[in-house]
Amino acid sequence: MTLLLLCKNRKCGFRHASELQMDQKSFRTAVIENNSEKCPKCEKYSLYNKQDYFFGFLSSNSQKIGIELGTISSVAG
């Protein structure tokens, strides 16, 4: 299973794969500010910054995370 870059929609709370995908090494040096993401559940757009993203796995129903490895601050550090 491949780690995905995930985010949690601020409006409905749905956790989903980000439209941005990169490995953890690339993420550490990436600058992400006010990135627009559309939620696949509620179909609303929200703006996200680097600290809003995290790595993990999605379950088959795409709503629950099988393993969440931590917040961006712990990944980026």
Domain boundaries, the chain: 4-76
Integer-rounded Cα radius of gyration of the chain: 12
With a cut of 80, say whether residue 70 has pLDDT above it: no
Instruction: Provide the b/e sequence for 9-40 (b: ≥16 CB within 10 Å).
Output: beeeeebbbbeeeeeeeebeeeebeebebebe
With a cut of 70, say whether residue 18 has pLDDT above it: yes
Could you tell me the pLDDT band of residue 61, with boundaries at 50, 70 and 90?
Answer: low
Cβ–Cβ < 8 Å for 36, 18: no
| Distance between CA atoms of residues 77 and 66, nearest Å | 23
0.75 exceeded by pTM: no
As a whole number, the mean pLDDT across the chain is 81
Q: Report the share of the chain in percent with pLDDT over 90.
A: 62
